[in-house]
Amino acid sequence: MTDDEHGETDDGHEQTDDEHGESDSRPTLRESAQGRFPVPEYESLPADIQERIAEETARAGFTPNVFAALAYRPAQFRAFVDYHDALVEETALDRAEVEMIVVTVSGRNHCYYCNVAHGALVRIYADDPELADQLVANYRQADVSDERLVMLDVAVKLTERPDEVTGADLDRLAEAGYSRDEIWDIGAITAFFNLSNRMATFADWRPNEEFHTMGR
């Protein structure tokens, strides 16, 4: 899920009702959003969640499937979305760095939903049509700065070998130029999207087809 799975569809492609089965203003919770749990009817949801989904739909021009999936458990929807928004809206990191972490971690976790949805956001925020594919395939071969490679190394270590993370890893980030707040956010974003990746895989969340072409 992204806070700009809403709004970043200005890639020059005009969406139509016929293409995507919904208008720009009408939320649609697709049954195919997740394969292993039901997707509720929009009208059955609490008013605050309806409002939030409507806002996201208006910004994106379609309803990101993550909202349809999370709506199955409204209390968890609220907590998940609120923490996500706190991470990405108040981060000390550049937004491109946030999305690079998400895609790199999601690549290591083989998370279909996040690789596709956040891959679109890497293309948009980094203004690079190739970077997301590089990060998913092998982040160490990606066209990133030495400083950002350190950031991704630590994110991958926290993902794959959390018991091996030590203060030395935080020192590496500081030596690469990251502030204390940025270092915290690297850890928090990595941890949150490990949760998201695992839930997406467990519940079989499916990315909207729109994400495949955004930013290309």
Indicate whether 213 belongs to any domain.
Answer: no
Domain edge (last residue) among 44, 68, 89: 89
Q: What is the pLDDT of residue 1?
A: 55
For residues 212 and 20, the answer to whether their CB atoms sit within 8 Å is no
Q: Which domain holds residue 171?
A: 95-203
Please say which residue of 89, 111, 127 terminates a domain.
89
Alpha helices in the chain (DSSP H): 17-20, 47-60, 65-70, 74-89, 95-108, 112-125, 131-138, 146-160, 167-175, 180-203, 209-213
DSSP SS3 for 62? coil
Shared-domain flag, residues 42 and 22: yes
pLDDT, residue 13, reads 35
Residues 68 and 132 in one domain: no
**For residue 12, is it within any domain?**
no
Contact call for residues 157 and 104 (beta carbons, < 8 A): no
CATH of the domain at 30: 1.20.5.810
Q: Tell me, yes or no, whether 115 and 79 share the same domain.
A: no
Determine, yes or no, domain membership for 216. Answer: no
Angle at 86 between CA 82 and CA 92, to 5 degrees: 170
Residues 101 and 85 in one domain: no
Distance in angstroms (rounded) separating the CA atoms of residues 83 and 42: 22
Q: Is residue 119 part of a domain?
A: yes
Domain count, the chain: 2
Ramachandran bin of 111, using left for φ above 0, alpha for ψ from -120 to 50, beta for the remaining angles: beta
Q: Are residues 84 and 123 in the same domain?
A: no
Indicate whether 26 and 84 sit together in one domain: yes
CA dist 173 and 152 (Å) reads 10
pLDDT at 18 (0 to 100): 41
Three-state helix/strand/coil letters over 97-157 = HHHHHHHHHHHHCCCHHHHHHHHHHHHHHCCCCCHHHHHHHHHHHCCCCHHHHHHHHHHHH
Q: Are residues 186 and 99 in the same domain?
A: yes
Residues 79 and 99 in one domain: no
Residue 150 lies in a domain: yes
Give CA–CA dist 47/43, Å, rounded. 9
Same domain for 113 and 192?
yes
What is the number of other CB atoms lying within 10 angstroms of the CB of residue 34? 23
pLDDT given at position 168: 98
In angstroms, rounded to a whole number, what is the distance separating the alpha carbons of residues 215 and 37?
30
- Considering the domain architecture, whether residues 76 and 142 belong to the same structural domain is answered as no
Same structural domain, 33 and 67:
yes
| Domain CATH code at residue 165 | 1.20.1290.10
In a domain, 110, yes or no: yes
Domain membership flag for residue 2: no
Dihedral sign computed on CA atoms, order 32, 100, 170, 161:
positive
What pTM did the predictor assign?
A: 0.88
**In-domain check, residue 215:** no
pLDDT tens for the chain, 216 residues long, are: 544 444 444 333 334 344 444 445 789 999 999 999 999 999 999 999 999 999 999 999 999 999 999 999 999 999 999 999 999 999 999 999 999 999 999 999 999 999 999 999 999 999 999 999 999 999 999 999 999 999 999 999 999 999 999 999 999 999 999 999 999 999 999 999 999 999 999 999 999 999 999 999
The residue from 58, 89, 120 where one domain ends is: 89
The answer to whether residues 64 and 104 belong to one domain is no
